Structure 1
Amino acid sequence: MPEIVRIASPALSADISTLGAELQALRDEAGRDLLWDGDPAWWAGRAPILFPIVGAVAHDEIRVGGHAYRLAKHGFARRAEWQLVERTEACATFRLEDGAATREAYPFAFRLDLRFSIEGATLTVVAMLTNSGTTDLPASFGFHPAFRWPLPYGAAKEDHRVIFAAPEPAPIRRLDSAGLLRPTPEPTPVAGDMLAPDASLFEDDAIIFDRLASRSIWFGAPGTRGLDIAFPDMPELGIWQKPGAPYLCIEPWAGFADPAGYSGELRDKPGILRLPAGSSHQFLMKITLGSETPQ
């Protein structure tokens, strides 16, 4: 059975499951929920970890050395049992390593450590991917937290905003019916640095920023407490909900779905990270509760 690990400070607490190393709850000092509860009537996820791919690949297959391997959307890390390797009051580290099951879908040696820590009102999540093999490791990685929308601070859903650290005038990307990137970018729905999220925006699935200027956003209703979400190591961002659901996913990514029509090797896929043998790469996200205006 999966184990639930709680870490906390006086200002914030988090529950993490060994199944998928997935954040299960994030609560403020009064016990108010900031994270979506995984109600399957809408979406059973809460904050899945996306590895070794982000999004879908064509026909649910990757190609390595001319061979095809079955790999479902967002990869296998979110459904794997992770090992708990460190645990203190305010910190926990989980580990996933390759084995017979992972190599059937992804024929590479790797170690992925995910460290959750809380200091004050900030949850920091650091993923460290290590190539433990002898060849380059092609991989993508993504965070996928779903936050309550509205947040529990009295503002209406329609008053919430996503405010970027910088203006975001570049076109966005959308997905086709197979979950692959459409070839033609679309105009951004961001006005300057502000997005007013609305269910209609997500009728075409996620909003994907693959030419992102910002490395942090603020989510909340102006004049109330909000969330600062920083992702300095993540070059892409997805924003998604099931239209009308009471959550908003703010998803820092390093990688994205296959472009429609792509049939090449995984190592050549657009947006892929190629990690040399013996090296490591960090992916970081910080979630801070408290500010009423973007920091």
Structure 2
Amino acid sequence: MSSDILSISGTGLSAEIHPLGAELWALRDADGRDLLWNGNAAFWTGRAPILFPIVGTVAGDTYRVGGASYALPRHGFARRRPFSLVTTQADGVTLRLTSDDATRAVYPFDFVLDLSFKIDGARLDVAANLTNTGDGPLPASFGYHPAFRWPLPYGAARADHAITFDVDEMAPIFRPDREGLLVSAERPSQLGARVLQLDDAAFTDGALVFTSLAGASLSFGAGNGPKLKISYPDTPHLGLWSVPGAPFVCVEPWQGYADPAGFTGEIWDKPGIVRLAPGARRRWRMGVELVGSEDAGDS
């Protein structure tokens, strides 16, 4: 497996990307400290899966289009599919997933999905470019699902970490029910207008789902120490998730989200679905920047 992993680096970060699912496999600072979760099965085997062509769960793991029904697992199939290598350089790489008979059996549309990773200094930029290569319209959602170390490796306690949004996020928050479908939720007591003070209680009932974002970035870290600034200029939705007691927190920029409880429409009517005309292209970007790293002490 390790021989398949692609490595890129810059002056402030290095990264590894696995062709299976075009998954970010490791992210390290200039001193080699891990910023990304390692997939320990004791908590969760994922690291940073790509979510496509749906985000979250469709009711009964089945969606409808054109009078037919198709089965799709939670978060779609891209994370389980091998991507081919398009380009590679010391500081960047692009991988591609193309529709084939296996994808058409569960998602009857033609597409090309490119994932590009590039490091510039202490910033990793990821871009997903989806192209409709078919003759008809294409319905799609897309999401990032990176899990970051909690605590970050700079000496602060886990309880001192927080997520701070760039603007007040006051829209209603949703939670998944037992079937993974979204229901409205009380605003967590740990979440003010801008700051979520992280603790296990925030995730006892599962993910926090923001279906209407006001801003386009947030920071994750503790006190005045180094933090990760995560930007998501193209995604209008966001999930925050962890497992109580786990040493990671997922910050998930999304285009789309799980079916609301009671949804029975076709995929075209599913909240968050985009409709791409033949030949059209859609891009979703995510940036992860290590800020304040000059203050990092020995971990």
SS in 1 for 2:20: coil
1: CA distance, partners of 2:67 / 2:245: 42
2: CA distance, partners of 1:186 / 1:180: 16
Aligned twin of 1:191: 192
Q: Is 1:205 matched with 2:203?
A: no
Unpaired runs of at least 5, structure 1: none
2:23 partner amino acid: E
1:167 partner amino acid: D
Deviation at 1:185?
Answer: 4.3
Contact kept, 8 Å, 2:162 with 2:197, in 1: the verdict is yes
SS in 2 for 1:75: coil
Aligned twin of 1:173: 174
1:212 partner amino acid: L
Aligned twin of 1:20: 21
Aligned twin of 1:223: 224
Contact kept, 8 Å, 1:170 with 1:188, in 2: the verdict is no
Aligned twin of 2:264: 263
1:53 partner amino acid: I
SS in 1 for 2:182: coil
Aligned twin of 1:29: 30
Contact kept, 8 Å, 2:116 with 2:127, in 1: the verdict is yes
2: CA distance, partners of 1:262 / 1:191: 30
Contact kept, 8 Å, 1:63 with 1:264, in 2: the verdict is yes
1: CA distance, partners of 2:124 / 2:55: 23
Contact kept, 8 Å, 1:228 with 1:291, in 2: the verdict is no
2:127 partner amino acid: V
Unpaired runs of at least 5, structure 2: 294-299
Report Cα offsets for 1:195-238 as digits up to 9, x if no partner: 10111111111000112111100000021001000000010000
Q: Share of identical aligned residues, percent?
A: 53
1:78 partner amino acid: R
Contact kept, 8 Å, 1:95 with 1:112, in 2: the verdict is yes
Which structure has more strand as a fraction of its residues? 2
Aligned twin of 1:136: 137
SS in 2 for 1:62: strand
1:76 partner amino acid: F
Aligned twin of 2:46: 45
Q: Is 1:239 matched with 2:237?
A: no
Q: Is 1:89 matched with 2:96?
A: no
Q: How does 1:75-154 map to 2 (within 5 A)?
A: 75-154=76-155
Report Cα offsets for 1:104-162 as digits up to 9, x if no partner: 11000010000000010000000000011111111000000000000000000000010
2: CA distance, partners of 1:97 / 1:232: 25
2: CA distance, partners of 1:248 / 1:140: 22
1:187 partner amino acid: R
2:157 partner amino acid: A
Contact kept, 8 Å, 2:8 with 2:15, in 1: the verdict is yes
Deviation at 1:170?
Answer: 1.7
1:177 partner amino acid: R
TM-score where L is the length of structure 1? 0.96
2: CA distance, partners of 1:147 / 1:191: 22
Deviation at 1:290?
Answer: 2.0
SS in 1 for 2:118: strand
2: CA distance, partners of 1:283 / 1:161: 25
Report Cα offsets for 1:26-47 as digits up to 9, x if no partner: 0000000000000001000000
SS in 2 for 1:31: coil
1: CA distance, partners of 2:158 / 2:37: 14
Contact kept, 8 Å, 2:165 with 2:195, in 1: the verdict is yes
SS in 2 for 1:208: strand
Runs of 4 or more above 3 Å deviation: none
2: CA distance, partners of 1:53 / 1:3: 26
Aligned residue-pair number = 291
2: CA distance, partners of 1:117 / 1:24: 14
TM-score where L is the length of structure 2? 0.95
